[in-house]
């Protein structure tokens, strides 16, 4: 059988060929033409910038260089023992000069109140606090509060062996009277913390200093809490009331066997020592002491007295250098602040066996 076949025609396929269409080149742009309106805008912008620069420069000059903001003479308040003129002079010296040789230190915006306060407290140990306030535009107010007394806590110096200067070269042991500056003394603030005592030992401040010496020799580091704030207040009150009520001086030297002992010991102008408890009010201890003087120890009998111990409330122990002792006891139920002889009785001294 014969079949009639047709040869299939091959279709033409274009591979890898891309047709590009020719486009016209972009038209060349003509140069910009600056019109009069654009020039006006540019000049206005530059003028505004220059005006701002001039304004800022004027502002800086007025703020930091004009006399309008220079602080005048500070106003001082709160001084009592210290000289107001001396304090003002110290402040003026701190405000003199310029920062970087350009900016005046007494400028209102450059005065540093906290730095001035710290300077005053370190320069004047008698100051308990100092507050510096700036008053716009050129005022400076300084308010201070003074300590009644400066308390220095010292560690007793050790004994040392020294030659007595004889030809035999004998060596003896003595207790050295160490100067306060050599004892490791620290200034105690109102919170009971220790600080630098350097300026407190200057001649201008020494009359206001009370020395409390710890005979245990326990060392103290700066910034450490030494005792409760009430202890310092007690020492100051004792130094004030004892001369007023007892008619004799205690001096500036006080001792304690330990910072934890709650006691104070001092030597009177009559030569004997008094021991008091810091937890008993000063008035109570002095009332008891006054009773002892009225009943047992008038002034003519206090010759040779070694110490009087007031550390027990409503009781007194005393001893002479020969070792004799006696006790004074308040009558039960009698008020401790009433020193009338009719309401108190004196116990007889115990006889030695």
Q: Is the pLDDT of residue 353 over 50?
A: no
Burial environment of residue 96 by CB neighbours within 10 A (0 to 12, 13 to 18, 19 or more)? exposed
- Per-residue model confidence (pLDDT) at position 327: 46
> Per residue in 179-236, pLDDT tens?
454 568 999 999 999 999 989 989 999 999 999 999 998 888 889 999 999 999 999 9
Select from 321, 123, 252 the least CA-distant residue to 264.
252
- Per-residue model confidence (pLDDT) at position 152: 96
How far is the CA of 59 from the CAs of 56, 65, 107, in angstroms? 5, 10, 14
In the chain, pLDDT over 90 holds for what percent of residues? 61
The CA distance from 97 to 86, in Å, is 19
More confident residue, 162 or 188: 188
- Per-residue model confidence (pLDDT) at position 182: 55
| Mean of per-residue pLDDT scores for the chain | 81
> Per residue in 252-296, pLDDT tens?
999 999 999 999 999 999 999 999 999 999 999 999 999 999 999
CATH class of 67-146: alpha beta
- Per-residue model confidence (pLDDT) at position 334: 33
Domain ranges of the chain: 67-146, 150-160+174-343
CA atoms 264, 193, 239, 330: torsion sign: negative
Averaged over 20-29, what is the pLDDT?
Answer: 65
- Per-residue model confidence (pLDDT) at position 333: 30
pLDDT band at 39 (very low <50, low <70, confident <90, very high): confident
Q: Is the pLDDT of residue 165 over 60?
A: no
């Amino acid at each position: 059988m014969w079949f009639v076949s047709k040869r299939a025609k091959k279709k033409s396929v274009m591979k890898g060929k891309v047709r590009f269409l020719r486009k016209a080149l972009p038209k060349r742009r003509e140069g910009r033409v600056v019109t009069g309106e654009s020039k006006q805008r540019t000049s206005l912008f530059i003028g505004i910038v220059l005006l701002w620069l001039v304004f800022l420069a004027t502002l800086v000059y007025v703020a930091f260089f004009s006399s309008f903001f220079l602080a005048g003479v500070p106003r001082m308040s709160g001084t009592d023992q210290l000289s107001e003129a001396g304090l003002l002079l110290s402040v003026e010296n701190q405000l003199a000069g310029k920062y970087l040789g350009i900016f005046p230190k007494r400028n209102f915006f450059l005065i540093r109140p906290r730095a001035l306060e710290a300077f005053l407290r370190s320069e004047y140990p008698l100051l308990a606090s100092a507050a510096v306030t700036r008053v716009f535009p050129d005022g400076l107010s300084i308010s201070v509060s003074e300590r009644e007394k400066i308390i220095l806590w010292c560690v007793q110096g050790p004994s040392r062996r020294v030659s007595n200067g004889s030809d035999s070269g004998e060596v003896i042991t003595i207790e050295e009277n160490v100067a306060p500056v050599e004892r490791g003394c620290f200034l105690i603030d109102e919170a009971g913390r220790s600080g630098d005592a350097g300026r407190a030992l200057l001649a201008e401040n020494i009359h206001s200093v009370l020395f409390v010496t710890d005979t245990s020799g326990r060392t103290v580091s700066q910034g450490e809490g030494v005792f409760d704030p009430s202890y310092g207040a007690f020492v100051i009150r004792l130094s004030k009331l004892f001369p007023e009520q007892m008619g004799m001086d205690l001096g500036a030297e006080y001792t304690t066997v330990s910072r934890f002992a709650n006691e104070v010991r001092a030597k009177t102008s009559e030569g004997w020592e008094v021991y008091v408890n810091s937890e008993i009010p000063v008035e109570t201890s002095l009332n008891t002491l006054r009773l002892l003087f009225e009943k047992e120890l008038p002034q003519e009998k206090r010759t040779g007295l070694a110490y009087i111990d007031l550390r027990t409330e409503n009781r007194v122990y005393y001893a002479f250098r020969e070792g004799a002792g006696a006790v004074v006891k308040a009558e039960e139920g009698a008020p401790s602040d009433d020193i009338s002889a009719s309401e108190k009785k004196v116990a007889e001294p115990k006889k030695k066996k």
